[in-house]
Every structure is written in C-alpha cells, then in structure tokens.
Amino acid sequence: MARSSPPSTLPPFEPVTLTELRTFWMRYPNNDTRRLILEVQRYRTKLREIDRLYQATQTAWHDNVGGELVALNWLRSVMFEEKFRVG
C-alpha cells in the first residue's frame, strides 16, 4: 500500500462566504465552477455532520467509560478552528 505524502500547507486566505458562493454560482454558470462550489458546500455540510458524530461519540464515551479521549479533544480543536475560520 502506497503512503500518501503529508498535506501541504496553504497560504493564509479569507474563507469564501455562503453569499459569495451564491454570487459565483450565478455569475459563473459553467459546469467546472459549479462543481467546485458544490464541493465547497458539501465539505461544509460534512463538517457539521462530523461535529454531530463527535458529540455523540464523546457523550457515549463519557457516559460509559468516563473522562475524555485525547484524540477526540484534538478532533474537537481542529473542528473548532475550522468552524471559527469559516464563520
């Protein structure tokens, strides 16, 4: 099994707002641009789903085992940063 390379670091940038995505959708009706817009929105929807799954996992772990999992805390931190960045 081939190992993937580590993720590259992106330069700092302002996140695209939902209003901007909607504007791009109307302004640039070509298929490639719309696929990219859909991909961004799908990613954001999946992040919300992952957050709900995180909450359910953390609650079940806490109720059945007690305490918190370190990996879940790291996940929560990464998700918080991304949610804060996107707004």
Compute the Cα dihedral for 70, 72, 76, 79 and give only its sign.
Answer: positive
pLDDT tens column, 46-87: 999 998 998 899 899 888 888 878 888 888 888 888 888 877
Rounded to two decimals, what is the model's pTM?
Answer: 0.70
How many other C-beta atoms are found inside a 10 Å radius of the C-beta of residue 48? 11
pLDDT of residue 6: 63
pLDDT of residue 3: 58
pLDDT tens column, 8-56: 788 999 999 999 999 999 999 999 999 999 999 999 999 999 989 988 9
Domain map (residue ranges) of the chain: 18-86
pLDDT of residue 85: 81
